[in-house]
């Protein structure tokens, strides 16, 4: 993937490049909003990682300008401002996701990949398929290798999110945000319990476990 990192904290920028290059993504960096705007116009990127507060031009202005020009590249905002109103302002400006500093590298990676994937899928789907697991979004039915699996509504939503990001790591925070729509960190392992219930439903009786735990990051649905 080609990524544009717009961040004035060069130390943080370097750490991101190190982590993202490790996953064989290629990164271009810009130290402020104006430079970021130029870089974004000069080239095509899969995802842009944009800090909110920067000298010369802040991230919100930069993304608003790009969106006015018709640039639809997914944007992940990074910010030290974590209040709901800050988050809403970032998303209103045309951001696609919002990550509050400090963050774990695994969280950043997972979100960047999720954003890129969302763009790939583009059109509305009615069927999701990961390996031998199939989800019919209209009939609300799930089958694995042709065998129907009975899921609770929340389990269905959880699986839908995992299937939409099949093969990618998704973090616990992402699941809490996207499936339950809560933006706080639970102290206990609430998400883990939901995952293990789902796992028991989709992996039980099959040789291969699809729903895997990724150490230090979260979960991944493998085909």
Partner 1 sequence: MGLPRVFRTTPFRLTLLFLGLFAAAAAAFLAYIYIATAGEVTLRADARVSREMAALEAIHHSGGLAALNQAVIERSFGDRPMVYLLMKPDGGNISGSIGKSPVEKFDGEQTWTTFTLTNPGPDGGMVRQPARGLQERLPDGYMLFVGADVGELEFYVSKILRALWGAGALMILLGLAGGLMVSRDVSRNTAALTHVIDQARGGDLHVRARVRGSGDEYDELAIGLNDMLDRLERSVGGLRHAGDAIAHDLRSPLTRLRARLEAAMIDAEAGRTDAKAALHQALEDADGVLRTFSAVLAIARLEAAGAAPSQTVFDPAQLAASIGELYEPLCEDKGLDFEIQASPGLRLKGNREFIAQALANVLDNAIKYTPAGGAIMVRVRRRSSGDVEISVTDTGPGIPAEDRGRVLDRFVRLENSRNEPGAGLGLSLVAAVARAHGGHLDLDEGPGALDGGGPGLRVALVFPSVS
Using the rule CB under 8 A, is 85 a contact of partner 1?
yes
Among 193, 209, 222, 223, the residue binding partner 1 under the rule CB under 8 A is 193
Using the rule CB under 8 A, is 200 a contact of partner 1?
no
Least separation in angstroms between residue 77's CB and partner 1 is: 18
Using the rule CB under 8 A, is 185 a contact of partner 1?
yes
Among 15, 53, 190, 214, the residue binding partner 1 under the rule CB under 8 A is 190
> Which of 44, 188 has the CB closer to partner 1?
188
Least separation in angstroms between residue 129's CB and partner 1 is: 27
Using the rule CB under 8 A, is 199 a contact of partner 1?
no
Distance CA 222, CA 205 (A): 17
Least separation in angstroms between residue 14's CB and partner 1 is: 18
Using the rule CB under 8 A, is 180 a contact of partner 1?
yes
Using the rule CB under 8 A, is 204 a contact of partner 1?
no
Total number of residues that touch partner 1 (CB under 8 A): 21
Using the rule CB under 8 A, is 182 a contact of partner 1?
yes
Per CB under 8 A, residues contacting partner 1 are 82-85, 102, 104, 154, 180, 182-190, 193-194, 196-197
């Amino acid at each position: 993937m080609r990524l544009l990192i717009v961040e004035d904290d060069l130390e943080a920028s370097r750490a991101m490049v190190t982590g993202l290059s490790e996953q064989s993504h290629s990164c271009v960096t810009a130290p402020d909003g104006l430079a970021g705007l130029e870089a974004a116009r000069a080239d095509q990127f899969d995802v842009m990682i944009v800090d909110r507060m920067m000298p010369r031009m802040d991230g919100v202005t930069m993304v608003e300008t790009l969106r006015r020009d018709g640039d639809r590249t997914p944007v992940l905002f990074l910010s030290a401002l974590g209040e709901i109103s800050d988050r809403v302002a970032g998303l209103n400006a045309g951001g696609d996701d919002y990550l509050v500093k400090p963050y774990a590298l695994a969280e950043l990676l997972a979100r960047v990949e999720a954003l890129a994937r969302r763009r790939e899928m583009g059109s509305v789907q009615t069927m999701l398929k990961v390996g031998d697991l199939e989800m019919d979004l209209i009939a609300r039915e799930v089958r694995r290798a042709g065998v129907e699996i009975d899921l609770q509504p929340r389990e269905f939503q959880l699986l839908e999110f995992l299937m939409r990001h099949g093969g990618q790591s998704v973090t616990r925070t992402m699941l809490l945000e996207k499936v339950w729509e809560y933006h706080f960190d639970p102290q206990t392992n609430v998400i883990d319990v939901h995952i293990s219930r789902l796992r028991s439903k989709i992996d039980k009786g099959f040789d291969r476990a699809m729903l895997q735990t990724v150490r230090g990051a979260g979960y991944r649905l493998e085909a």
